[in-house]
Amino acid sequence: MRVFVAGATGAVGRRLVPLLVAAGHEVTGATRTGEGAERLRAQGASAVRVDVFDAARVHRAVADAAPDAVVHQLTALANGDRAENGRIRREGTRHLVDAAKRAGVRRIVAQSISWAYAPGDAPAGESTPLDLEAEPPRAGMVDSLRALEEAAAEIETHVVLRYGTFYGPGTWYARGGPLDAALRGEQAAGDPARDPAAALVGLPVAGDAVGSFVHVEDAARAAVAALDWPTGTVNIVDDEPAPAHAWLPAFAAAVGAPPPAPAADGGREGWERGADNTLARRRLGWRPLHPTWRTGFTAL
């Protein structure tokens, strides 16, 4: 296929592009910087500099690439800017989908997340509704995801990947990353005014909140596979949803950081439930290289 990758130099994109090229696809990667364009060309892709908030530029870039498929991996995660991330989901996705429709693109793969589900006691499957009754500030995040997913659904074949928390090189959950630093007391954890990334990582306390992880390499491999998947929403998470009191000490040990403090109350919010990967694994044949964070963390 001819594939247009938006967010081609992000944590997933930088692993995705070489996989697409190796699979024989003709790849055009979109990036905001000259350095990113050089990286893409070195990986064997064509490169185009695009600001996703510039609708006219997005339309030209997609039209010139004439892709068979668009892969949407755009975020503002590197800067830890929740407001910009929400804007990308709403406005950036809108511009990208409109450009794809105008160019006659009939397939899109889009990045979403797996912790926006409504509250429950068990890991959420894809039929679980989004948490549309959430209170602010969570409500803003859920609403931006709904806008992203509804826009993607305007493309004839649309696959929405609801990823678990990314870990591995280039993410917050990596050796030397923001969580590592927070565990060492090197950041103003939880103070977004002083450290925006800390607001997204959260305070490093070992409580009962359950989450699901996915290694960034497995996230990229899922995006490649999704080019052949039918329309739908798919959880891309590893096999072991886990409470923070299980995974956080393991992460600290893996990166050589001090062990985390236990949570004062040990409680969990209803939406902190993790996600189920049965659809991806059993019906679509996705096989993560790191089936659990327990072994994945040891490779950080």
- Residue 193 pLDDT exceeds 80: no
**Alpha carbon distance 173, 298 (integer Å):** 12
Burial class, 112, CB count within 10 angstroms (exposed 0-12 / middle 13-18 / buried 19+): buried
- Residue 80 pLDDT exceeds 80: no
Residues 166-190 have pLDDT tens digits of 999 999 999 998 899 888 888 654 5
Residues 95-153 have pLDDT tens digits of 999 999 999 999 999 999 999 999 999 999 999 999 999 999 999 999 999 999 999 99
45-54, 178-187, 208-217, range with the lowest pLDDT: 178-187
Q: Are strands 242-243 and 210-211 parallel, antiparallel or unpaired?
A: antiparallel
Residue 82's pLDDT is what? 81
- Residue 201 pLDDT exceeds 90: no
pTM for the full predicted model: 0.95
Confidence of residue 211 (pLDDT cuts 50, 70, 90): very high
- For 128, the token pair is 């679980």
**Alpha carbon distance 292, 233 (integer Å):** 22
Give the list of residues 6+ apart from residue 277 with CB closer than 8 angstroms, or none. Answer: 212, 235, 236, 237, 238, 239, 286
Q: What is 58-90 written as a DSSP string? A: HHHHHHHH--SEEEE----GGGT-HHHHHHIII
Mean pLDDT score, 69-87? 87
Give the list of residues 6+ apart from residue 193 with CB closer than 8 angstroms, or none. Answer: none
